[in-house]
Amino acid sequence: MGLEKEKSDTSIIMDEDEFNRSIEPILSKKGKVYTAAPDRDPNDINAHLKVGFEDVIAEPISTHSFDKVWIGSHAAFELVKFIFYRLLTTLLAVPMAFILGLVFGVLSCIHIWLVMPVIHSCMMLLPSIQVVWRSLTDMFITPFFHSMGKSLSFIQVKTTEN
């Protein structure tokens, strides 16, 4: 068993329709069909973070760098973005999940055990408060507006043209 150093430049040129027809029986015979990765952002909350290299660095048609520079900078951008995202999520994901779980747990507890009972208690008291409020307004405010309305109803405004 010796080391063989062969260089092969083989390419297959196929029509796309023929390729699609030829691949189907192979996949169905194997029985292993890989499913797509689960969508971790099904509600598209972070659509603004789907940033590609072309979104950040774009060269107009009139100005182009060398192709190798463009390819290298694209590779560097994607690699650095990938590495730093993985590094930062490795360091921050679990502590942030813990803190946010704690915050949302406390907020849920406060909402369920304090805020909602107070709101329901106020809603139960409102009918009786409404009766008292209506009688107070009928006693003090309505006569004032009624008498003011009667006294102001005699005022007549006439406009004249010059």
Q: Taking a C-beta distance cutoff of 8 angstroms, is the pair 58, 64 a contact? A: no
Q: How confident is the model at residue 10 (pLDDT cuts 50, 70, 90)?
A: low
Q: How confident is the model at residue 1 (pLDDT cuts 50, 70, 90)?
A: very low
Residue 12 pLDDT: 56
Helix (H) or strand (E) holding 97: helix 67-110
Q: What's the predicted TM-score (pTM) here?
A: 0.46
Q: How far apart are CA 57 and CA 160, in angstroms?
A: 71
Per-residue pLDDT tens digits for 31-70:
555 677 788 888 888 888 887 878 778 788 888 888 898 8
Q: How confident is the model at residue 2 (pLDDT cuts 50, 70, 90)?
A: low
State the Cα angle at 61 between 59 and 66, rounded to 5°: 60
Q: What is the mean pLDDT of residues 91-120?
A: 95
Residue 82 pLDDT: 92
Q: Tokens 């951008």 identify what position?
A: 77
Domain extents in the chain: 66-142
Q: How far apart are CA 91 and CA 110, in angstroms?
A: 30
